[in-house]
Amino acid sequence: MLKIPDNLAKIDLQLLRSPSAFLRSLIGATEIDPVLQEYGAWWKAEGQGISDAVDRAGTPWVTMFDKGGKRVDEILYAPEYWHMLHRGYRAGVLWRAFEQKSLLPSFLLIYITSFYDSGLSCPYTVSLSTALPLSKYGDAELKERFLSKLLQRERPWQGATWMTEIKGGSDLGNNVETSAVPDGGIWRLTGDKYFASNAGAELAVVAARPKGSPAGVRGLALFLVPRYKENGGLNYAIRRLKDKIATRSVPTGEVELRDSEAYLLGKAEDGIYLILEVLNVSRIANSIGSVALTQRAIADALEFAESRVAFGRAIIDHPLLRQQFTERLQDLRGGFALAWEACKLLNEVWKERRPYSDHYHLFRLIAHLAKYWTAEFAVQTAKWCMEVHGGLGVLEEFRMERWLREAMILAIWEGTAHRQMLDALEVIERKHAHHSLLKYVERSETPELRKIVSSIDEHLRLPAEQREGGWEPIVANLAKATAGALSRQLSGDVSAR
């Protein structure tokens, strides 16, 4: 258990440097604790170096055509990339969700992964986001055919979630132009996906608009699109990979669908709900991954601060810097509590269908707060950890600048802070989820949280424009207070007290 005594004498660097030990200190030893330890040990010994090399190499190449002129769209990662990637699947980031009938093992494995390579958590997350709707909405034949492939322990198929098109990702209702046309028992999809995470995946869930369906968000449906057609041909083309500043362990591409074979999931008219359920998973994974990245950045900065000497003592012993570490460790604990609560709630509600329960709406509120708050904290902490390193922090040679790049992506994908704030506002306006929240954390509820909830009730009486315009400071307080309250419910203690 990580303690910072009053005299701030000693931060436990060893604990901070191990994601599995850190988890254990907060939630106790879970059933898969040995798995987490072993997986973490592999990362420390081998995976980390691979991840560094993948980041250094930048955007991988795509071989579009083989020498014979056949379109192949193969992504040229170094062989060790695939080794690294498959390590997590083998550990159970996918199959455990079904075998252990709980999403928590997946999120714990994603935590370990993100401590070392937050980008690699993306393939795992989108594969999970593919497997879950398939298992929930797919008929027996689809599951037989595809789900088993995703759940293999060795070299499983990978999933992917492709929603966003060139005009923007927030407003899917207006921006998804990919069309779906029925053709015999299947559908044919045509359109371009502009941010296609895990391009090259064997199976993607794709948002498209069935011909004749209404305009806007109600006209969207969710489809399964395999990489290869039934006849073995490529079912979608990778136009190119995006040159991103980070998360180079996931190939994000522009994907062209051209009469691509597809399978409808659920009912077409429920499509937007299925899409939002997919997003639930990735937002939660983003949250837990953000916390892991934050832990990592702090651990690296602490290690540096313990060895760097200025004005006659290690810089960790300079009072202002020590105070800054202390505050960040408290927030780290809070951020974890928030993200972990979101994981647990998702685990409870993910099988719900419309009409959703209040518990589901509570989950949504906490999910938006967690996505927003943990990513914001990750960015701020990565930035600060660069500063702790002084000039070394901006050199590509060391890892610190990478954590900021990675964090920026976490802050943006799955919806920026702006989006999360407004979505939180919406579930508060429509479902009064802030009251559910207050009730939910009453065990450790603080006067502060109660005050914020009251202020929200008051805020809701404003005209719509002002309600939205003035929302940021309130939602920030709500996120922070909720994190604080949940933090007090954790079994262990990470911060200074």
The token pair that represents 426 in the structure block: 């919406």
Binding window for a second copy (CB under 8 A); candidates: 68-76, 144-152, 264-272, 343-351: 68-76
Distance (Å) of CA 82 to CA 68, 154, 246: 25, 11, 18
Among 5, 99, 155, 174, binds a second copy (CB under 8 A): 174
Among 6, 154, 230, 397, binds a second copy (CB under 8 A): 397
- Mapped onto helix, strand or coil, the DSSP state of residue 389 is coil
Q: Does 409 bind a second copy (CB under 8 A)?
A: yes
Among 29, 72, 78, 460, binds a second copy (CB under 8 A): 78
351, 352, 358, 360 alpha-carbon torsion, rounded to 10°: 40
The token pair that represents 48 in the structure block: 């980390």
Q: Interface residues for a second copy in 83-122 (CB under 8 A)?
A: 83
Cβ neighbours, 10 Å, residue 343: 24
In the bound complex, what is the minimum distance in angstroms from residue 72's beta carbon to a second copy? 11
Q: Interface residues for a second copy in 134-163 (CB under 8 A)?
A: none
- In contact, 240 and 196? CB cutoff 8 Å: no
Q: Does 417 bind a second copy (CB under 8 A)?
A: yes
Q: Interface residues for a second copy in 186-205 (CB under 8 A)?
A: 194-195
Distance (Å) of CA 423 to CA 67, 274, 281: 49, 17, 16
Binding window for a second copy (CB under 8 A); candidates: 90-98, 115-123, 351-359, 402-410: 402-410
In the bound complex, what is the minimum distance in angstroms from residue 214's beta carbon to a second copy? 16
Cβ neighbours, 10 Å, residue 447: 8
Among 9, 63, 353, 357, binds a second copy (CB under 8 A): 63
Q: Does 169 bind a second copy (CB under 8 A)?
A: yes
Q: For the chain, how big is the Rg over CA atoms in Å?
A: 23
- CA dist., res. 140 & res. 309, Å (int): 64
Q: Interface residues for a second copy in 451-490 (CB under 8 A)?
A: 459, 464-473
The token pair that represents 294 in the structure block: 């934050």
Binding window for a second copy (CB under 8 A); candidates: 64-72, 261-269, 443-451, 484-492: 64-72
Q: State which residue, 393 or 484, has the beta carbon closest to a second copy.
A: 393
Q: State which residue, 29 or 394, has the beta carbon closest to a second copy.
A: 394
Among 318, 431, 432, 435, binds a second copy (CB under 8 A): 318
Cβ neighbours, 10 Å, residue 328: 22
Q: Interface residues for a second copy in 274-313 (CB under 8 A)?
A: 304, 307-312
Q: Interface residues for a second copy in 235-254 (CB under 8 A)?
A: 239-240, 242-246, 254
Among 30, 179, 416, 444, binds a second copy (CB under 8 A): 416
The token pair that represents 130 in the structure block: 């593919």
Q: 167-172 long-range contacts, Cβ below 8 Å, gap at least 24?
A: 169/195, 169/415, 170/415, 170/419, 172/207, 172/217, 172/220, 172/272, 172/275
Question: What angle is formed at CA 342 by the lines to CA 341 and CA 345, rounded to 5 degrees?
Answer: 85
Binding window for a second copy (CB under 8 A); candidates: 43-51, 106-114, 182-190, 261-269: 43-51
Q: State which residue, 131 or 378, has the beta carbon closest to a second copy.
A: 378
Q: Interface residues for a second copy in 6-25 (CB under 8 A)?
A: none
| DSSP class of 398 | S
Q: State which residue, 45 or 140, has the beta carbon closest to a second copy.
A: 45
Q: State which residue, 194 or 350, has the beta carbon closest to a second copy.
A: 194
- In contact, 400 and 392? CB cutoff 8 Å: yes
In the bound complex, what is the minimum distance in angstroms from residue 82's beta carbon to a second copy? 9
The pairing of beta strand 203-210 with beta strand 179-183: parallel
Length, in residues, of the chain: 497
Q: Does 72 bind a second copy (CB under 8 A)?
A: no
Among 92, 219, 226, 393, binds a second copy (CB under 8 A): 393
Q: Does 5 bind a second copy (CB under 8 A)?
A: no
Amino acid type, 99: E
Q: Is the dihedral of CA 347, 350, 352, 354 positive or negative?
A: positive
